[in-house]
Amino acid sequence: MNNGIGLQTSRGSGTNGYVQSNKFFVRLKSNNVLVDGRQGKRIVPGQGTAGLIRKPNREILEHDRRRQIQLKLVVLEDKLVDQGYADAEVSQRLDEARRTLEAAAAAAEEAL
DSSP string, 36-58: TTEEEEEPPTT--STT---PPPH
What's the pLDDT score for residue 57?
Answer: 87
Which whole number is the average pLDDT over 94-98? 96
Residue 22, pLDDT > 70, answer yes
Residue 96, pLDDT > 70, answer yes
Residue 87, pLDDT > 90, answer yes
In sequence order, what are the beta bridge partners of 39? 34
Give the whole-angstrom CA distance, residue 69 versus residue 112: 19
